[in-house]
Structure 1
Amino acid sequence: MNVYLVEDVLVDSGTPKARGRIIRQLRGQPLSAHVVTHAHPDHFGSSHAVCEEFGIPLWAGQKDVTAIETATPATAPGRIPQLLSRMKMPDPHPVARGLCEGDEVAGFTVLEVPGHSPGHIALWRERDGVLLCGDVFFGLFGATAPPDILTWDRDLNRESMRRLAALRPRLVLFGHGRPARDPDRLARLLR
């Protein structure tokens, strides 16, 4: 799982077990806020600890606010996702700002890209083509769709994938996997 520091904003926080490492790495860094791309435990897992430690507000996509505040993420259809949802969840945390399409965060524009979760957001900086895509795409083995078993609405996520690919980003920062610098990489996946 990837965690990013964009200017003075922390983007995502990994699992609950990452809290110590993340807090150590952030000590001495100026922080103004923490943004979560989507309400899955591997992205807001350490959010409560980080926000408490540094006294910073938590921001998330408007349609994922309740899931984070209650630590009850929306699940994909099927029996196995329902079983996974019974696992121990991260500590909930109040969301100070529900982000919507067009909001600005650390020089990036918020894009609503639902599907992997109802309120999934991406951060797009048009001037240099940088995209933080969360889990709309996985970057573990090239660029792929996220696993269906972890995706709330597969068809809606596919629409979000098309939307982000059409941007032709010059640098894609995934929630999982290495960065990609090929503007056509995402589009090839959708052919």
Structure 2
Amino acid sequence: MKKTKLNEVTQVSFLPWLFPINCYIIEEENDLTVIDIGVNQFVKEIKAMSEHCQKPVKNLIITHAHSDHVMGYPRFKETFPECRTYMSEREARFISEDFKFDESEVGFQLKGDYSKASSLHVEDFLQEGDQIGSFSVIETPGHSVGSISLWNPQTQLMIAGDAFQTKGRLAVSGDLVKTFPFPAIATASKEVALQSAKKILSFNPRILAVGHGEMLIDPIDRMKEAISRCECERKDK
């Protein structure tokens, strides 16, 4: 387990050198917000931080419901029963409707492992512009049909779920990185993921935090390169 702290955000990474799965703990003024809960081991770290700063865990936000982002949920909920769980309305509906796509979602395919999604008990459903603590919700579909990112305009922190990865190299979801291909393999629509990557770039984040890999400071040039690489690969096919 590896912990990295940047201002108010702590990244906790499980198996960081092999198959990094990240959880983010955000220290707000009066409480803590957790983003993604991929493994049980995160719960111990969250509890320790809550006790250390003497703040309750108020919110859990799920960027998308692939198993590597929700496997630790049952233990988390046992430990923090009062914490409210949030996920996008589209992702929740996708699960409840047996993984069916809307007619407008042309080109999407069922990718990634949703086998642990049934354990989720979501109290609140999110859409573009909703506010949770210091974060605004940004709809960034592509990796999954209902993927979201979280934007803090004060600190210019973007937590992008799997819309980007930094393990192996910075890459747009769906752009295959041979040394860590799993996010690309699990991407539902590469074309929509590319558009969401451009949307994230338009916010000009100072810090980019992702589901797999290290956080990046001043990532704009690298994000542009990743998007350009992805666009060139699309044109060559």
| TM, length-normalised to structure 2 | 0.69
Q: 1:184 aligns with which of 196, 212, 221?
A: 221
Aligned residues: 181
Say what the alpha-carbon RMSD is for the aligned residues: 2.4
The Cα of 1:88 is off from its aligned counterpart by 5.0
Secondary structure at 2:171 match in 1:
coil
Where does structure 1 differ by over 4 angstroms across 4 or more consecutive aligned residues?
67-74
1:97 to 93, 116, 124: 124
Q: CA deviation at 1:31?
A: 0.3
Deviates more, 1:113-122 or 1:40-49: 40-49
Which of the pair has the greater relative contact order for Cα pairs under 8 Å at 6+ separation? Answer: 1
Change (3 A) 1:13 1:72: farther
Stretches of structure 2 lacking an aligned partner (at least 5 in a row)? 1-20, 51-55, 102-107, 175-183, 229-237
Kept in 1: contact 2:66–2:117 (CA 8 A): no
**Counterpart residue identity of residue 104, structure 1:** Q
Aligned to 1:160: 196
Task: Give secondary structure in 1 for the equivalent of 2:168.
Answer: coil
CA distance in 2, matches of 1:125, 1:88: 31
Structure 1 equivalent of residue 157 of structure 2: 130
Contact kept? 1:113, 1:120, Cα under 8 Å: yes
- Give per-residue Cα distances to partners, 1:27-50, cap 9 Å, x unaligned: 251201211001111011112321
Deviations 1:19-76 (A, max 9, x none): 1x222112251201211001111011112321232112210011111456699698x6
- 1:50 aligned residue (54, 76, 82): 76
Identity %: 25
Name 1:149's counterpart in structure 2: 185
TM-score by length of 1: 0.84
C-alpha change, 1:121 and 1:90, in structure 2 (3 Å) is: closer
Unaligned runs of 5+ in 1: none
Deviations 1:125-166 (A, max 9, x none): 122211000000011023102344211111111100011112
Counterpart contact for 1:112–1:120, Cα < 8 Å: yes
Which of structures 1 and 2 has the bigger CA Rg? 2
Structure with the larger strand share: 2
Q: Give the alignment partner of residue 34 of structure 1, picking from 60, 63, 71.
A: 60
**Residue pairs, 1:77-96, within 5 angstroms:** 77=109, 81=111, 85=113, 88-89=115-116, 91-96=118-123
